[in-house]
Amino acid sequence: MSVVRSKILGVGSYLPEKIITNDDLSRMVDTSDEWITERTGIKLRHIASENEKTSDLAYRAAIDALKSAGITSTDLDAILVATTTPDDTFPATATKVQKLLGMQRGFAYDLQAVCSGFMYAMMTADSLIRSGQVKTVLVIGAETLSRLVDWTDRNTCVLFGDGAGAVILTASEGNGTSLDTGILSARVFSDGTYGDLLHTTGGPSSTRTVGTIFMNGREVFRHAVVKLASAAEEVLRNANVSSQELTWLVPHQANLRIIDSTAKKLGIDMSKVVVTVDHHANTSSASIPLALAEKVKTHEIKRGDLLLFDAMGAGFTWGAMLARY
Ligand code: UT7
Protein backbone atom coordinates (compact mmCIF):
# COMPACT_ATOMS: atom_id res chain seq x y z
CA MET A 1 0.00 0.00 0.00
CA SER A 2 1.43 3.38 -1.01
CA VAL A 3 1.52 5.95 1.80
CA VAL A 4 2.95 9.46 2.26
CA ARG A 5 5.91 9.60 4.66
CA SER A 6 7.72 12.67 6.02
CA LYS A 7 11.36 12.07 5.25
CA ILE A 8 14.23 13.87 6.98
CA LEU A 9 15.93 15.63 4.06
CA GLY A 10 18.51 17.58 6.07
CA VAL A 11 19.58 18.60 9.55
CA GLY A 12 21.28 21.69 10.94
CA SER A 13 22.50 23.22 14.17
CA TYR A 14 23.92 26.30 15.76
CA LEU A 15 25.53 26.82 19.16
CA PRO A 16 26.55 30.27 20.43
CA GLU A 17 30.30 30.77 20.84
CA LYS A 18 30.32 31.69 24.52
CA ILE A 19 30.79 28.74 26.88
CA ILE A 20 30.18 28.61 30.64
CA THR A 21 31.87 25.70 32.41
CA ASN A 22 30.91 24.15 35.73
CA ASP A 23 33.97 25.81 37.26
CA ASP A 24 32.73 29.19 35.99
CA LEU A 25 29.39 28.50 37.72
CA SER A 26 31.08 27.51 40.95
CA ARG A 27 32.41 31.07 41.11
CA MET A 28 28.85 32.42 40.73
CA VAL A 29 26.80 30.18 43.07
CA ASP A 30 27.45 27.60 45.80
CA THR A 31 28.06 24.58 43.54
CA SER A 32 30.93 22.48 42.18
CA ASP A 33 31.98 20.68 39.01
CA GLU A 34 31.77 17.46 40.99
CA TRP A 35 28.10 17.99 42.04
CA ILE A 36 26.93 19.08 38.58
CA THR A 37 28.77 16.25 36.80
CA GLU A 38 27.59 13.58 39.22
CA ARG A 39 23.92 14.67 39.39
CA THR A 40 23.40 15.78 35.77
CA GLY A 41 26.30 14.72 33.51
CA ILE A 42 26.66 18.36 32.36
CA LYS A 43 30.18 19.80 31.95
CA LEU A 44 29.49 22.98 29.97
CA ARG A 45 26.78 24.99 28.25
CA HIS A 46 26.73 27.50 25.37
CA ILE A 47 25.22 30.90 26.14
CA ALA A 48 23.93 33.43 23.59
CA SER A 49 25.69 36.80 23.49
CA GLU A 50 23.79 39.98 24.41
CA ASN A 51 22.97 40.74 20.76
CA GLU A 52 21.99 37.18 19.79
CA LYS A 53 18.27 36.44 19.88
CA THR A 54 16.43 33.13 19.51
CA SER A 55 15.61 34.01 15.88
CA ASP A 56 19.34 34.51 15.15
CA LEU A 57 20.15 31.06 16.52
CA ALA A 58 17.19 29.56 14.65
CA TYR A 59 18.23 31.27 11.38
CA ARG A 60 21.80 29.90 11.64
CA ALA A 61 20.48 26.37 12.24
CA ALA A 62 18.03 26.81 9.33
CA ILE A 63 20.80 27.83 6.91
CA ASP A 64 22.82 24.79 8.03
CA ALA A 65 19.81 22.49 7.48
CA LEU A 66 19.03 23.94 4.02
CA LYS A 67 22.65 23.33 3.02
CA SER A 68 22.51 19.78 4.36
CA ALA A 69 19.26 19.15 2.44
CA GLY A 70 20.63 20.70 -0.75
CA ILE A 71 17.63 23.04 -1.15
CA THR A 72 16.93 26.77 -0.74
CA SER A 73 14.26 28.62 1.23
CA THR A 74 12.18 28.93 -1.97
CA ASP A 75 11.60 25.17 -1.72
CA LEU A 76 9.99 25.50 1.73
CA ASP A 77 6.22 25.57 2.22
CA ALA A 78 6.21 26.18 5.98
CA ILE A 79 8.40 26.96 8.98
CA LEU A 80 7.55 25.70 12.47
CA VAL A 81 9.62 27.00 15.37
CA ALA A 82 9.36 25.25 18.73
CA THR A 83 10.47 27.72 21.39
CA THR A 84 9.71 28.83 24.93
CA THR A 85 11.99 31.83 24.58
CA PRO A 86 10.67 33.81 21.59
CA ASP A 87 12.44 37.09 20.72
CA ASP A 88 9.28 38.99 21.67
CA THR A 89 5.79 38.02 22.83
CA PHE A 90 4.80 38.60 19.19
CA PRO A 91 5.25 38.35 16.25
CA ALA A 92 6.21 34.70 16.20
CA THR A 93 9.92 33.91 16.03
CA ALA A 94 9.08 31.69 13.03
CA THR A 95 7.96 34.71 10.99
CA LYS A 96 11.23 36.45 11.90
CA VAL A 97 13.13 33.43 10.59
CA GLN A 98 10.91 33.52 7.49
CA LYS A 99 11.93 37.14 6.92
CA LEU A 100 15.63 36.42 7.55
CA LEU A 101 15.43 33.61 4.97
CA GLY A 102 13.84 36.03 2.46
CA MET A 103 10.79 33.78 2.16
CA GLN A 104 7.53 35.55 1.36
CA ARG A 105 5.34 32.56 0.60
CA GLY A 106 3.92 29.71 2.66
CA PHE A 107 3.40 30.17 6.38
CA ALA A 108 5.37 30.23 9.63
CA TYR A 109 4.34 29.94 13.26
CA ASP A 110 5.66 29.06 16.73
CA LEU A 111 4.71 26.13 18.95
CA GLN A 112 5.26 26.13 22.68
CA ALA A 113 5.51 22.82 24.53
CA VAL A 114 8.74 23.63 26.40
CA CYS A 115 11.23 20.71 26.37
CA SER A 116 8.82 18.58 24.30
CA GLY A 117 8.37 21.39 21.77
CA PHE A 118 10.41 19.72 19.06
CA MET A 119 8.33 16.51 19.34
CA TYR A 120 5.12 18.55 19.01
CA ALA A 121 6.47 20.53 16.04
CA MET A 122 7.69 17.40 14.24
CA MET A 123 4.35 15.68 14.80
CA THR A 124 2.48 18.75 13.49
CA ALA A 125 4.76 19.02 10.43
CA ASP A 126 4.30 15.30 9.74
CA SER A 127 0.50 15.72 9.91
CA LEU A 128 0.60 18.73 7.55
CA ILE A 129 2.71 16.76 5.08
CA ARG A 130 0.65 13.58 5.24
CA SER A 131 -2.62 15.51 4.81
CA GLY A 132 -1.21 16.95 1.57
CA GLN A 133 -1.30 20.60 2.73
CA VAL A 134 2.45 21.09 2.32
CA LYS A 135 5.37 19.25 0.78
CA THR A 136 8.45 20.56 2.56
CA VAL A 137 8.66 21.94 6.11
CA LEU A 138 11.50 23.47 8.10
CA VAL A 139 11.15 22.44 11.77
CA ILE A 140 13.33 24.31 14.25
CA GLY A 141 13.88 23.96 17.99
CA ALA A 142 15.55 27.16 19.22
CA GLU A 143 16.07 28.54 22.70
CA THR A 144 17.82 31.22 24.70
CA LEU A 145 16.97 29.62 28.06
CA SER A 146 19.77 31.67 29.64
CA ARG A 147 17.36 34.65 29.51
CA LEU A 148 14.87 32.81 31.77
CA VAL A 149 17.42 31.53 34.27
CA ASP A 150 17.83 33.06 37.71
CA TRP A 151 21.63 33.11 37.80
CA THR A 152 21.60 33.19 41.62
CA ASP A 153 19.57 29.94 41.91
CA ARG A 154 21.90 26.94 41.99
CA ASN A 155 18.94 24.55 41.66
CA THR A 156 18.34 25.63 38.07
CA CYS A 157 21.14 27.81 36.70
CA VAL A 158 23.53 24.87 36.28
CA LEU A 159 21.08 22.95 34.08
CA PHE A 160 20.34 25.01 30.99
CA GLY A 161 22.03 26.19 27.81
CA ASP A 162 21.24 27.99 24.54
CA GLY A 163 21.22 26.68 20.98
CA ALA A 164 19.16 25.75 17.94
CA GLY A 165 18.66 22.65 15.86
CA ALA A 166 16.71 22.24 12.62
CA VAL A 167 15.28 19.47 10.49
CA ILE A 168 13.83 19.65 6.99
CA LEU A 169 10.98 17.23 6.36
CA THR A 170 9.67 16.49 2.90
CA ALA A 171 6.93 14.29 1.49
CA SER A 172 8.06 10.96 0.10
CA GLU A 173 6.39 7.73 -0.85
CA GLY A 174 6.48 4.66 1.36
CA ASN A 175 4.79 1.28 1.34
CA GLY A 176 3.36 1.54 4.86
CA THR A 177 5.85 -0.71 6.64
CA SER A 178 8.53 0.01 9.24
CA LEU A 179 11.13 -0.37 6.47
CA ASP A 180 9.98 2.96 5.00
CA THR A 181 12.21 6.03 5.26
CA GLY A 182 10.75 8.90 7.30
CA ILE A 183 8.50 9.27 10.33
CA LEU A 184 6.90 5.93 11.13
CA SER A 185 5.02 6.60 14.36
CA ALA A 186 4.56 9.51 16.76
CA ARG A 187 2.59 10.32 19.93
CA VAL A 188 2.53 13.37 22.18
CA PHE A 189 0.83 13.80 25.56
CA SER A 190 0.24 16.44 28.21
CA ASP A 191 -1.15 16.64 31.73
CA GLY A 192 -1.63 20.16 33.06
CA THR A 193 -2.14 19.03 36.65
CA TYR A 194 1.66 18.96 37.01
CA GLY A 195 2.12 22.58 35.91
CA ASP A 196 3.38 23.81 39.28
CA LEU A 197 6.36 21.43 39.36
CA LEU A 198 8.17 23.26 36.55
CA HIS A 199 7.16 26.77 35.52
CA THR A 200 8.26 30.36 35.11
CA THR A 201 7.49 32.87 37.83
CA GLY A 202 5.89 35.25 35.35
CA GLY A 203 4.45 35.88 31.92
CA PRO A 204 2.80 38.58 29.78
CA SER A 205 -0.72 38.04 31.12
CA SER A 206 0.16 37.39 34.76
CA THR A 207 3.07 39.61 35.76
CA ARG A 208 3.79 41.45 32.49
CA THR A 209 7.35 40.12 32.79
CA VAL A 210 8.88 36.87 31.53
CA GLY A 211 9.74 35.48 34.97
CA THR A 212 12.45 32.98 35.81
CA ILE A 213 12.52 29.18 35.91
CA PHE A 214 11.28 27.32 38.99
CA MET A 215 11.64 23.54 39.17
CA ASN A 216 10.96 20.83 41.72
CA GLY A 217 13.79 18.76 40.24
CA ARG A 218 13.26 15.58 42.24
CA GLU A 219 9.56 15.32 41.27
CA VAL A 220 10.19 16.16 37.62
CA PHE A 221 12.90 13.51 37.53
CA ARG A 222 10.57 10.87 38.97
CA HIS A 223 7.84 11.52 36.37
CA ALA A 224 10.30 11.92 33.48
CA VAL A 225 11.60 8.35 33.44
CA VAL A 226 8.13 6.78 33.64
CA LYS A 227 6.56 9.05 31.02
CA LEU A 228 9.47 8.89 28.58
CA ALA A 229 9.55 5.10 28.69
CA SER A 230 5.78 4.70 28.30
CA ALA A 231 5.61 7.11 25.31
CA ALA A 232 8.52 5.30 23.65
CA GLU A 233 6.92 1.89 24.24
CA GLU A 234 3.63 3.07 22.71
CA VAL A 235 5.31 4.46 19.62
CA LEU A 236 7.32 1.24 19.13
CA ARG A 237 4.19 -0.86 19.63
CA ASN A 238 2.23 1.21 17.08
CA ALA A 239 4.94 0.60 14.48
CA ASN A 240 5.33 -3.05 15.46
CA VAL A 241 9.03 -2.51 16.14
CA SER A 242 11.00 -3.78 19.14
CA SER A 243 13.49 -1.63 21.05
CA GLN A 244 16.19 -4.13 19.98
CA GLU A 245 15.70 -3.10 16.35
CA LEU A 246 16.59 0.55 17.05
CA THR A 247 19.90 1.89 15.77
CA TRP A 248 19.79 4.95 18.04
CA LEU A 249 17.78 6.45 20.86
CA VAL A 250 18.01 10.25 20.49
CA PRO A 251 16.49 11.53 23.75
CA HIS A 252 15.88 15.01 25.08
CA GLN A 253 19.07 16.00 26.89
CA ALA A 254 18.08 17.13 30.40
CA ASN A 255 20.04 14.86 32.70
CA LEU A 256 22.34 11.90 32.02
CA ARG A 257 20.73 9.93 34.87
CA ILE A 258 17.26 10.36 33.29
CA ILE A 259 18.64 9.26 29.90
CA ASP A 260 20.37 6.26 31.48
CA SER A 261 17.31 5.16 33.49
CA THR A 262 14.99 5.51 30.46
CA ALA A 263 17.34 3.48 28.26
CA LYS A 264 17.49 0.77 30.94
CA LYS A 265 13.67 0.67 31.19
CA LEU A 266 13.48 0.26 27.41
CA GLY A 267 16.24 -2.37 27.34
CA ILE A 268 18.48 -0.20 25.14
CA ASP A 269 22.25 -0.36 25.66
CA MET A 270 23.89 3.03 26.32
CA SER A 271 26.17 2.44 23.30
CA LYS A 272 23.05 3.05 21.18
CA VAL A 273 22.03 6.24 23.00
CA VAL A 274 23.02 9.70 21.74
CA VAL A 275 24.38 11.78 24.63
CA THR A 276 25.19 15.46 24.19
CA VAL A 277 24.00 16.76 27.56
CA ASP A 278 27.63 16.90 28.74
CA HIS A 279 28.50 19.67 26.24
CA HIS A 280 25.06 21.16 25.41
CA ALA A 281 23.26 20.99 28.82
CA ASN A 282 19.46 21.23 28.63
CA THR A 283 18.58 23.38 25.61
CA SER A 284 14.85 22.56 25.89
CA SER A 285 13.21 22.31 22.44
CA ALA A 286 16.61 22.54 20.73
CA SER A 287 18.16 19.54 22.44
CA ILE A 288 16.94 16.71 20.17
CA PRO A 289 17.66 18.38 16.80
CA LEU A 290 21.05 19.52 18.14
CA ALA A 291 21.87 15.95 19.20
CA LEU A 292 20.62 14.57 15.87
CA ALA A 293 22.60 17.08 13.79
CA GLU A 294 25.77 16.40 15.76
CA LYS A 295 25.64 12.65 15.13
CA VAL A 296 24.67 13.06 11.45
CA LYS A 297 27.66 15.38 10.98
CA THR A 298 30.04 12.85 12.56
CA HIS A 299 28.46 10.14 10.34
CA GLU A 300 27.54 8.09 13.41
CA ILE A 301 23.89 8.38 12.35
CA LYS A 302 23.59 7.09 8.79
CA ARG A 303 20.86 6.79 6.16
CA GLY A 304 18.64 3.81 6.94
CA ASP A 305 19.20 4.00 10.72
CA LEU A 306 16.11 3.51 12.87
CA LEU A 307 15.84 6.39 15.36
CA LEU A 308 13.66 6.87 18.41
CA PHE A 309 13.25 10.42 19.76
CA ASP A 310 11.67 11.14 23.12
CA ALA A 311 11.19 14.20 25.30
CA MET A 312 9.49 15.39 28.45
CA GLY A 313 9.07 18.88 29.84
CA ALA A 314 7.01 21.46 31.67
CA GLY A 315 3.24 21.19 31.47
CA PHE A 316 3.86 18.29 31.81
CA THR A 317 4.25 17.57 28.13
CA TRP A 318 5.93 14.48 26.71
CA GLY A 319 6.11 12.40 23.58
CA ALA A 320 8.06 10.05 21.35
CA MET A 321 8.65 9.54 17.64
CA LEU A 322 10.06 6.70 15.57
CA ALA A 323 11.75 7.57 12.28
CA ARG A 324 14.01 5.89 9.75
CA TYR A 325 16.70 8.39 8.72
O1 UT7 B 1 13.86 19.32 30.61
C2 UT7 B 1 12.76 19.37 31.47
C3 UT7 B 1 12.83 18.32 32.45
N4 UT7 B 1 13.76 18.64 33.50
C5 UT7 B 1 14.44 17.67 34.04
O6 UT7 B 1 14.33 16.57 33.54
C7 UT7 B 1 15.24 17.88 35.28
C8 UT7 B 1 14.85 16.85 36.27
N9 UT7 B 1 15.55 16.89 37.52
C10 UT7 B 1 16.89 16.74 37.63
O11 UT7 B 1 17.60 16.65 36.66
C12 UT7 B 1 17.45 16.62 39.03
O13 UT7 B 1 16.42 16.47 39.95
C14 UT7 B 1 18.36 17.81 39.45
C15 UT7 B 1 19.66 17.75 38.68
C16 UT7 B 1 17.64 19.12 39.16
C17 UT7 B 1 18.69 17.73 40.94
O18 UT7 B 1 19.28 16.49 41.24
P19 UT7 B 1 18.78 15.62 42.49
O20 UT7 B 1 19.68 14.47 42.59
O21 UT7 B 1 17.31 15.36 42.26
O22 UT7 B 1 19.04 16.60 43.69
P23 UT7 B 1 17.98 17.22 44.72
O24 UT7 B 1 17.07 18.18 44.05
O25 UT7 B 1 17.38 16.09 45.44
O26 UT7 B 1 18.94 18.03 45.67
C27 UT7 B 1 19.94 17.40 46.43
C28 UT7 B 1 20.71 18.44 47.19
C29 UT7 B 1 19.87 19.51 47.87
O30 UT7 B 1 20.45 19.79 49.12
P31 UT7 B 1 19.78 19.20 50.47
O32 UT7 B 1 18.39 19.78 50.47
O33 UT7 B 1 19.79 17.71 50.31
O34 UT7 B 1 20.68 19.72 51.53
C35 UT7 B 1 20.04 20.72 46.98
O36 UT7 B 1 19.94 21.94 47.67
O37 UT7 B 1 21.58 19.14 46.28
C38 UT7 B 1 21.44 20.54 46.49
N39 UT7 B 1 21.71 21.22 45.22
C40 UT7 B 1 22.94 21.57 44.82
N41 UT7 B 1 24.15 21.42 45.39
C42 UT7 B 1 25.21 21.86 44.70
C43 UT7 B 1 20.80 21.57 44.28
N44 UT7 B 1 21.45 22.15 43.24
C45 UT7 B 1 22.76 22.15 43.56
C46 UT7 B 1 23.91 22.61 42.90
N47 UT7 B 1 25.11 22.44 43.49
N48 UT7 B 1 23.86 23.18 41.67
Q: What is the Cβ-side half-sphere exposure of residue 325, based on CA atoms within 13 angstroms?
A: 24
pLDDT in tens, 35-56: 999 999 999 999 999 999 999 9
Q: What is the mean pLDDT of residues 138-158?
A: 98
Q: Whose CA is nearest to atom 10 of ligand 1?
A: 217
157 is catalytic: no
pLDDT in tens, 284-318: 999 999 999 999 999 999 999 999 999 999 999 99
Ligand 1 contact, 223 CB (< 6 A) = no
Q: What is the mean pLDDT of residues 264-274?
A: 98
Predicted local confidence at residue 301, as pLDDT: 98
Predicted local confidence at residue 62, as pLDDT: 98
- Please give the distance, rounded to the nearest whole angstrom, from the Cα atom of residue 36 to the centre of ligand 1: 9
Mean of the per-residue pLDDT values of the chain: 98
- CA gap 122, 113 in Å, rounded: 12
pLDDT in tens, 91-132: 999 999 999 999 999 999 999 999 999 999 999 999 999 999
Q: How confident is the model at residue 1 (pLDDT cuts 50, 70, 90)?
A: confident
Q: Whose CA is nearest to atom 17 of ligand 1?
A: 217
- Please give the distance, rounded to the nearest whole angstrom, from the Cα atom of residue 218 to the centre of ligand 1: 7
Q: How confident is the model at residue 272 (pLDDT cuts 50, 70, 90)?
A: very high
- Please give the distance, rounded to the nearest whole angstrom, from the Cα atom of residue 174 to the centre of ligand 1: 45
Q: What b/e sequence results for 126-161 when a residue is b if at least 16 CB atoms lie within 10 Å of its CB, and e otherwise?
A: bebbbeeebbbbbbbbbbbbbebbeeeebebbbbbb
Sign of CA dihedral 75, 77, 188, 199: positive
pLDDT in tens, 150-174: 999 999 999 999 999 999 999 999 9
pLDDT in tens, 183-197: 999 999 999 999 999
Ligand 1 contact, 155 CB (< 6 A) = yes
Q: Is the pTM of this model over 0.95?
A: yes
Q: What CA–CA distances, in Å, run from 119 to 13, 258, 287, 317?
A: 17, 18, 11, 10
Ligand 1 contact, 152 CB (< 6 A) = no
Q: Whose CA is nearest to atom 18 of ligand 1?
A: 39
Q: Is the pLDDT of residue 214 over 90?
A: yes
- Please give the distance, rounded to the nearest whole angstrom, from the Cα atom of residue 130 to the centre of ligand 1: 42
